[in-house]
Amino acid sequence: MMTVIVVGCGRLGAELAGRLSEQGHNVTVIDHVSAAFDNLPASFRGRTVEGEVLHQDLLRRAGVESADALVAVTNSDALNAVAAHVARTVYHIPHVVTRNYDPRWRPLHEAFGLQFVSSTTWGAQRIEELLSLTGMSRVWSAGDGAVEMYEVVVPDTCEGRRLSELCPAGECVVVALTRGGHAVVSSQDTPLGKGDVIYISVTPQGREALRRRWASWQGA
């Protein structure tokens, strides 16, 4: 069980606070507008603190000195980044995550070296994939998206092709291949079968190469 501070009680903050509370964590939500706490679900069993998050007295009332985690999810990138930076460097909170609200402010989060979630960027990428990359979907992204994992389902038209054709060495790494629900030991020469599921780890450069190859496969 963790003691978690959630900064911002909009739709995202309220949803997160409710989920953490249901899991049994001690949750305190901070927002500068009292009406924002109406967003919290009826099942929420944590505390609410009204005020400006950067005020030292308010942070102490919220329990910052004993918190295990702080999440800053307001709609202000500057506030999120500064609050997270203070939590990590002044109060030495071990788990700090911030929200990147506007993609143009992403460099600020990166400059502070923060773990952040860019919901706008992620959402746009995900919708693009759903529209154009049938059979290939992103299932995991590390930090700022520098490393991602994709799930690829092999169609019957690509049966017999080699892993190396889809995933050339140096551009991406095959993490796992499953066939009929069972893991298969694979190499670059492994022939693919209809319905095989491949999990591939890529960098941004590898992602583009993977997308181009997958698009060519889809058009084959």
What's the rounded Cα separation, in Å, for the pair 149 and 142?
A: 9
In the prediction, which pLDDT does 153 show?
85
In the prediction, which pLDDT does 68 show?
97
Q: For residue range 161-176, list pLDDT tens digits in order.
A: 888 888 777 778 888 8
Higher pLDDT, 122 or 110: 110
C-alpha pair distances (Å), 33 with each of 74, 89, 162? 12, 26, 57
Tell me what the mean pLDDT of segment 26-31 comes to. Answer: 98
Looking at 84, 117, 150, which one is the last position of a domain? 117
Instruction: Give the least confident one: 13-17, 32-36, 144-148.
Output: 144-148
- Residue 204, pLDDT > 80, answer no
Q: What is the DSSP letter of 53?
A: T
Could you tell me if residue 51 is left (phi over 0), alpha (psi between -120 and 50 degrees) or otherwise beta?
left
Q: For residue range 56-114, list pLDDT tens digits in order.
A: 999 999 999 999 999 999 999 999 999 999 999 999 999 999 999 998 998 999 899 99
Residue 7 has phi, psi (to 5 degrees) of -95, 115
In the prediction, which pLDDT does 220 show?
52
- Residue 219, pLDDT > 70, answer no
Looking at 117, 138, 168, which one is the last position of a domain? 117
If pLDDT is split at 50, 70 and 90, which confidence band does 143 have? Answer: low
Which of 150, 213, 216 has the alpha carbon at shortest distance from 177?
150
pTM for this entry: 0.69
Q: For residue range 41-55, list pLDDT tens digits in order.
A: 999 999 999 999 899
Residue 23 has phi, psi (to 5 degrees) of -80, 0
Same domain, 111 and 173: no
Same domain, 46 and 113: yes
Give start and end residues of each alpha helix (H) in 118-195: 119-132, 163-166
Domain count, the chain: 2
User: Domain range for residue 58?
Assistant: 3-117
Number of residues written out for the chain: 220
Looking at 117, 143, 159, which one is the last position of a domain? 117
CATH code at position 56: 3.40.50.720
What's the rounded Cα separation, in Å, for the pair 129 and 219?
A: 16
